[in-house]
Amino acid sequence: MTEVRTTRRWRGVVGIALFVGAVGVLAARPLLLLLGVVGSAFAAYPHLTGTPAVDLSLERSLGSRSPEQGDAVEVTVRVVNEGSTLADLRIVDGVPPMLAVQSGSPRHGAVLRPGDATEWSYTVGADYGRHQFDPATVVARDVAGAREVETTVAAETELAVTDSVPEVPLRQQTAGHAGRVVTDRGGSGIEFHQTREYQHGDPMSRIDWRRFARTNTLTTIEFREERTAAVVLCVDADASAYRARRDDEPNAVAYSVAGAEQLLTSLGDARTFVGLAALGREFAWVDPGSGREHRDRLRTTLATHPALRTVPPTDPDASWVDTDQRAALRRRLGPSNQLFLFSPLTDDGVVTTALELEAEGTRVTVVSPNVTSRETAGGRLATVERDGRMRRLRESGVPVVDWDPTDPLGTELLRQQERGVA
């Protein structure tokens, strides 16, 4: 959107010129009258200059598009003037809200003739998540500085900060439903389950020939079945979930989106069906599927869906998730699904949703980024409340991964498995 406005830079000159001219006339002082005429000429000068025509293109390059957490990433911005001369050009790059500028400045000023370019760099600190750069804001003033044009110029740029998860701990499906997990049901898997009496039509390759040689009895070997999973990654993005330990650190929603991206990468093999859901500004849902195009669609949804914005709400007491959103999630899930719910557990509603889904047969695992702090009384209270919610979930059979975002999620998942928590 382009906005043209006057700066009123010369407004005082007009008043002074009129005052001096009037004094010169009344006092019959030719010198003062001459000064008034000169001042009036200066006051008229801004009206003789035209409004600047802004036609710019922007290129933005990153030192690394997939850095590690905490790395310094250099951002280089190049702006080319494809229009007329711009005597006073000021640019502010669209730094993502969750990235802090460590050195340099996203602000820049230049004078550009047609075809000229200007370039500058600054450094941001890499934090978890997928960060989309906003369009740069441009302000161009005419030669006199009386009128200015404000507009934006965009360039698609994304900075992704993720860690690999070596293996996602899917829960065992005991009811014979789909899942890329070992079941309690026998079939044609790879791990021995049991032997049973031979039935007509059993494959010859599964007959226990050694036992037949000893007992002259035909028996069939059964293996534990391994089936394709239908996993749904769900992000709790209600207003209360936008909590951070400090103002200069990412909030829990940013960590949750980054964690979902990591699990998506790990689950992205051909045997796993993966879906996506979010509870927040609005309900988000992508049906489970597989394949490269489907994974790309999930990543695009994680990066662009309004429900998954990492910008905190203006009203900290707002609440977006209602019974309709929770009911919509429950309707789409069932015993054939496993749900990984990313939530900082800042309210009881998300705990109730997890327990209801578990009771209805959906295998739920909660991944909870810990953004509480014991530095203040409010932070200590939030820690106690979160501990109580985790205990309530675990006592009801729902695994909870207590994730400190300063550690890689993959490391925490392995640690929880070794402790038998997840």
- Please report which confidence band the pLDDT of residue 190 belongs to, taking 50, 70 and 90 as the band edges: very low
* CA-CA-CA-CA dihedral for 194, 196, 198, 202, to nearest 10: -40
Same domain, residue pair 152 and 260: no
Same domain, residue pair 239 and 347: yes
Residue 130 has what pLDDT?
73
Residue at 339 is within a domain: yes
- What does the alpha-carbon distance between residue 123 and residue 72 come to, in Å, rounded to a whole number? 6
User: Mean pLDDT throughout 70-93?
Assistant: 91
Residue 48 has what pLDDT?
53
- Considering 165-174, 200-209, 222-231, 397-406, the range whose residues carry the highest mean pLDDT is 397-406
Task: Using the CB atoms, write b or e for 324-337: b if 16+ within 10 Å.
Answer: ebbeebeebbebbb
Residue at 335 is within a domain: yes
Residue 389 has what pLDDT?
96
Residue 21 has what pLDDT?
58
Residue at 168 is within a domain: no
- Please report which confidence band the pLDDT of residue 183 belongs to, taking 50, 70 and 90 as the band edges: very low
Q: pTM here?
A: 0.64
Same domain, residue pair 24 and 83: no
Residue 290 has what pLDDT?
87
Same domain, residue pair 121 and 200: no
Residue 56 has what pLDDT?
93
- Please report which confidence band the pLDDT of residue 175 belongs to, taking 50, 70 and 90 as the band edges: very low
Residue 23 has what pLDDT?
59
Residue 297 scores a pLDDT above 50: yes
Please report the DSSP string for 371-422 in residue order: ---SSSHHHHHHHHHHHHHHHHHHHTT--EEEE-TTS-HHHHHHHHHHHT--
Residue 185 scores a pLDDT above 50: no
Same domain, residue pair 147 and 78: yes
Residue 79 scores a pLDDT above 50: yes
Residue at 9 is within a domain: yes
Residue 174 has what pLDDT?
47
Residue at 250 is within a domain: yes
pLDDT tens column, 139-151: 988 766 667 888 9
User: Mean pLDDT throughout 174-180?
Assistant: 43
Residue at 172 is within a domain: no
- Domain range enclosing 190: 184-226
- Count of the separate structural domains present in the chain: 4
